[in-house]
Homo-oligomer: A and B are copies of this chain.
Amino acid sequence: MQQQLLKVMNFTVSADGVAAGENQSLENPFGDERARNLLAWAGATASWPNRTAPGGTRGIDDYFTRDYSNNIGAEIMGRNKFGPQRGPWQDHDWLGWWGDEPPFHTPVFVMTHHPRPSFSLSDTTFHFVGGDPATVLAQAREAAQGKDVRLGGGVSTIRRFLDAGLVDTLHVAVAPKKLGTGLKLWESPDELLDRYHLEVVPSPSGITHHLFWRK
């Protein structure tokens, strides 16, 4: 059996490292206006999972959206990616941002200190798990049945797994726009160069794809 990688995929930040989706709320599930535009590069591609209209580009950006589910058997996400609630669950009505057909199609492990029963929507099952990153990753790997595991974000979750030395590859899409304030993935991508190879690939869309893999 091949090694099961832990992969950050299609994670988009501003030119100054602020994550797209910042200031997510019920009214603005992709974050406030200024951050939402950062994700336009993915929405323009033919393979964007939420695409309903035909068409879309099939250039370099499409290789990244197309690769999103390639050999992925599970996702790990922080609670803030799952929903806007904080603290103990008031009820179990909230089923995520993604409607009846979430784009994951695998088990999803939502990291939270607050217990909640698992549930399924179409072919996605959400589990709510406590524990440190290594423990959660072991659960996700088991569920992935030999396939790779996607680390979905947000920023705090990615940084915890980076600090624990558990991330094998990262694809970070850097948008040309600066946001100034907000939770940052990094001050500079150079922070990872002691542990990772880096290739920087500019796209005609204006996005600069940053590809990291372990040294």
Residue numbers of A with Cβ under 8 A of B are 46, 57-60, 63-64, 66-67, 70, 169, 197, 199, 201, 203-204, 209, 211, 213
The secondary structure that dominates the A interface is mixed
Point out the residue from B46, B64, B199 that lies within 8 Å of A204, measured CB to CB.
B199
> In the complex, what residues of B have CB within 8 A of residue A58's CB?
169, 197, 211, 213
Q: Which residue of B lies closest to A171 (CB)?
A: B63
Point out the residue from B60, B66, B70, B209 that lies within 8 Å of A199, measured CB to CB.
B60
Point out the residue from B57, B60, B66, B213 that lies within 8 Å of A209, measured CB to CB.
B60
Q: How far is the CB of A7 from chain B (nearest CB, A)?
A: 9
Are the CB atoms of A197 and B63 closer together than 8 Å?
no
- Bound-state CA distance A204–B210 (Å) is 13
Are the CB atoms of B204 and A60 closer together than 8 Å?
no
Q: How far is the CB of A17 from chain B (nearest CB, A)?
A: 21
Q: How far is the CB of A205 from chain B (nearest CB, A)?
A: 9
Are the CB atoms of B213 and A60 closer together than 8 Å?
no
Q: Which 6 A-B pairs have the closest CB atoms?
A: A58-B213, A59-B199, A60-B201, A63-B63, A59-B211, A70-B70
Q: How far is the CB of A46 from chain B (nearest CB, A)?
A: 8
Q: How far is the CB of A175 from chain B (nearest CB, A)?
A: 18
Q: How far is the CB of A31 from chain B (nearest CB, A)?
A: 27
Are the CB atoms of B204 and A59 closer together than 8 Å?
no
Q: Which residue of B lies closest to A64 (CB)?
A: B63
> In the complex, what residues of B have CB within 8 A of residue A70's CB?
66-67, 70
- Bound-state CA distance A57–B211 (Å) is 10
- Bound-state CA distance A60–B213 (Å) is 11
Are the CB atoms of A213 and B63 closer together than 8 Å?
no
Q: How far is the CB of A53 from chain B (nearest CB, A)?
A: 13
20 sampled A-B residue pairs with Cβ under 8 A: A46-B213, A57-B197, A58-B169, A58-B197, A58-B211, A59-B197, A59-B199, A59-B211, A60-B60, A60-B201, A60-B209, A60-B211, A63-B67, A66-B67, A67-B67, A67-B70, A70-B70, A199-B203, A201-B201, A201-B203
